Amino acid sequence: MKRLSLLVVCILCIPFLTGCGAVAIGATAYTQVQVDTMKELLIEKRIITNTEFDAKMSQILENQNKQRRAAGKQSGTELE
């Protein structure tokens, strides 16, 4: 069940985070309402818990921030 939960979160988060990045260049992305709806549906279906979702989202955001900082250091544009 944990593997299925992880897979579902990854399937939801990757397109969402990619979509958020695309917004910066003018493309459309998932709205917060759509994300909240999917989260609630997964919780109601007992595919994932709220705690698991929040933990995974935090982990993904932390990894994304680390990648941004690393890219900033490589390009010399990182803000201290």
Q: Collect all residues with Cβ–Cβ distance below 8 Å to 28 and sequence separation of at least 6.
A: 19, 22
What DSSP designation does 6 have? H
pTM here is 0.50
What's the token pair of residue 41?
């549906």
Residues 11-57 pLDDT 10s: 666 666 555 555 554 445 568 888 888 889 999 999 999 899 899 98
Between the alpha carbon of residue 32 and those of residues 4, 11, 15, 44, the distances in Å are: 23, 16, 13, 18
Domain boundaries, the chain: 2-72
Does residue 51 or residue 73 have the better pLDDT?
51
